[in-house]
């Protein structure tokens, strides 16, 4: 029960760190409460709505009642399984926009500008999108552990959505993860040979095969800190896992701040409320919580062209059999195969609205399908100004944390969401899509004025499951920073964080890619390596952004 390094959490960041430390010859123990990722529910991309709703694979966290959403409690799934949330997510791969990382650097995360992180994205990628994206060239990686592919876009609605974006006056981008994010195009996914390619498959299992990485199944209770230095982790069952060099927390942006606070690192007054001795008074622990909210705008189709034809017992059986026996068919895709990134207004310098397009009208959790054949766009603002908190419910490590997102607490959120709905209607009204549309299911064309749209948002906005920011990275003299630009917890030696907790601000799009990148880069800092040489590639920003919305 001792090794050079102890990592808490076998998810996206933790698995990447384990892989790179093992590659450098170190012994690593990874503490993970969840179990195996075997079985079709996780491995079959088309079954993505199942694992995030199964107690076996999900922590079952939810927010406190959200005042801005009519007092609703929102589910916040986090993976309780090897691979973490990369084993239960929607598999969408988005790096984020170059400006996101430049903003990180401006906020005090020195060495995390886009030029600094691009080499790490390239190192981690094995990209299979070159057929329809001009090769990717200098922008994409070709031999990393993480396989990234594109769906076949066999359903006519996928390309119709991209064409409608073009007809509405937006750019088409050959690769939103390359030089130009802005525009409409093919969506990318962590899917390889028809299977989910999670962090467990890409990083953890290969690392374990070296014999230098071992899993310890258990629930972390606290970090052992002696004379100001982290020396290991105590588990709920009383065992202690010891680290000769460092302890790395990668337990998610909800459980990492909880573990820091249980260990005496956090806002002093809050720790005192729970009888926890303060080792480092860091008020930023559990603050700065951010997420993406989205709406499912649903439309009925005139013809039976959607995936609804499989939404019955026989259809699901056929999809499952085709995937199990041949590794193909609808089950081999997450069905997010086209997308869009647009700017909401002139003066916005890079996209702040994201679209996931899905050729069926259904809830994300798969619990309810809309009326027959249809499609939906998941749409939401990318950079909400609202901020929330993660706090301890009690000093008992088995208790879930108190999660308050404070969704829609900033007035701009409402303006941005209304704009997103109206821009979506305009896109779906273009000839390429309009030819397929019977009517608008949700919100419904009767809802037009601000009050009606606000009521719809309050009742129907859902989390996109992108929590982050709760142990923010910044300069060591920044009172609200929790870790320095090398991921070291300020005020404790030998302790780092390597997950989405350290994001100063939420990135544009889905967070799995950036979370893995954080693990890759923090691993180099742990190993004391000179960071990879900065890139000199110039990302595309719309030349007319100051005066034009598109």
How far apart, in Å, are the Cα atoms of 458 and each of 72, 294, 453?
9, 11, 9
Give the DSSP letter string of 118-184: HHHHHHHEEE--GGGTTT-GGGS-BSSSEEEEE----SHHHHHHHHHHHHTT--B-S-TTTT--SEE
Question: What span, in angstroms and rounded, lies between the C-alpha atoms of 91 and 45?
Answer: 8
Is residue 274 flagged as an active site residue?
no
The DSSP code for 20 is H
* Active-site residue, selected from the candidate residues 147, 356, 436, 466: 466
Q: Calculate the CA 122 to chain-centre distance.
A: 18
Find all residues with CB under 8 Å of 106, minimum gap 6, and list them.
Answer: none
Q: Calculate the CA 536 to chain-centre distance.
A: 27
Helix (H) or strand (E) holding 248: strand 240-249
Question: What span, in angstroms and rounded, lies between the C-alpha atoms of 455 and 443?
Answer: 10
The answer to whether 339 and 508 are in contact (CB under 8 A) is no
Question: What span, in angstroms and rounded, lies between the C-alpha atoms of 440 and 269?
Answer: 51
Structure tokens at 278: 């303060």
- Pick from 296, 409, 298, 419: nearest CA to 351: 419
Give the DSSP letter string of 276-340: PPPSEE-TTTT-SBB--EEEEEEEEESSS-SGGGG-SHHHHHHHHHHHHHHS-SGGGS-S--EEE
Question: What span, in angstroms and rounded, lies between the C-alpha atoms of 29 and 5?
Answer: 6
Active site residues: 466
């Amino acid at each position: 029960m001792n090794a050079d390094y102890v990592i808490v959490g076998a998810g996206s960041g933790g698995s990447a760190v384990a892989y790179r430390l093992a590659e450098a010859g170190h012994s690593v123990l990874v503490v993970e409460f969840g179990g195996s990722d075997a079985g079709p529910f996780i491995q079959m991309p088309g079954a993505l709505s199942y694992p995030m709703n199964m107690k076996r694979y999900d922590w079952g966290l939810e927010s406190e009642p959200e005042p801005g959403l009519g007092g609703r409690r929102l589910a916040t799934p986090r993976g309780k399984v090897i691979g973490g949330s990369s084993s239960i997510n929607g598999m969408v791969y988005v790096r984020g926009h170059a400006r996101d990382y430049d903003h990180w650097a401006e906020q005090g995360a020195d060495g995390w500008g886009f030029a600094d992180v691009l080499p790490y994205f390239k190192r981690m990628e094995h990209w299979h999108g070159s057929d329809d994206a001009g090769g990717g060239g200098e922008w994409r990686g070709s031999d990393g552990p993480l396989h990234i592919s594109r769906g076949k876009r066999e359903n006519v609605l996928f390309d119709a959505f991209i064409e409608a974006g073009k007809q509405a006056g937006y750019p088409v981008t050959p690769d939103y993860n390359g030089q130009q994010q802005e525009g409409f195009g093919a969506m990318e996914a962590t899917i390889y040979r028809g299977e989910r390619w999670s962090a467990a498959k890409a990083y953890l299992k290969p690392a374990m095969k070296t014999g230098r990485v071992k899993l310890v199944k258990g629930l972390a209770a606290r970090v052992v800190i002696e004379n100001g230095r982290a020396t290991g982790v105590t588990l709920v069952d009383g065992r202690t896992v010891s680290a000769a060099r460092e302890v790395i927390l990668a337990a998610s942006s909800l459980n990492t701040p909880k573990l820091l606070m249980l260990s005496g690192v956090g806002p002093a007054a809050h720790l005192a409320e729970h009888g926890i001795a303060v080792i480092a008074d860091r008020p930023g622990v559990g603050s700065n919580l951010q997420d993406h909210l989205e709406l499912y705008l649903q439309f009925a189709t005139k013809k039976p062209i959607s995936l609804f034809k499989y939404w019955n017992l026989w259809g699901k059986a056929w999809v499952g059999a085709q995937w199990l026996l041949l590794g193909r068919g609808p089950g081999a895709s997450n069905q997010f195969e086209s997308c869009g990134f647009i700017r909401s207004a002139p003066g916005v310098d890079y996209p702040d609205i994201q679209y996931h397009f899905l050729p069926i009208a259904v809830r994300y959790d798969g619990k309810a399908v809309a009326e027959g054949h249809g499609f939906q766009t998941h749409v939401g603002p990318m950079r909400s100004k609202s901020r929330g908190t993660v706090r301890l419910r009690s000093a008992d490590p088995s208790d879930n944390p108190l999660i308050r997102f404070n969704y829609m607490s900033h007035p701009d959120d409402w303006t941005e969401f209304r704009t997103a709905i109206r821009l979506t209607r305009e896109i779906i009204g273009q000839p390429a899509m309009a030819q397929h549309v019977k009517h608008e299911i949700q919100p419904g064309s009767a809802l037009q004025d601000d009050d009606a749209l606000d009521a719809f948002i309050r009742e129907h906005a859902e989390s996109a499951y992108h929590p982050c920011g709760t142990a923010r990275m910044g300069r060591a003299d920044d009172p609200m920073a929790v870790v320095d630009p090398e991921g070291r917890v300020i005020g404790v030696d030998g302790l780092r964080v390597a997950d989405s907790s350290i994001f100063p601000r939420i990135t544009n799009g889905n967070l799995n890619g950036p979370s893995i990148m954080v693990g890759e880069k923090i691993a180099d800092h742990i190993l004391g390596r000179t960071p990879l040489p900065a890139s000199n590639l110039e990302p595309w920003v719309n030349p007319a952004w100051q005066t034009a919305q598109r």
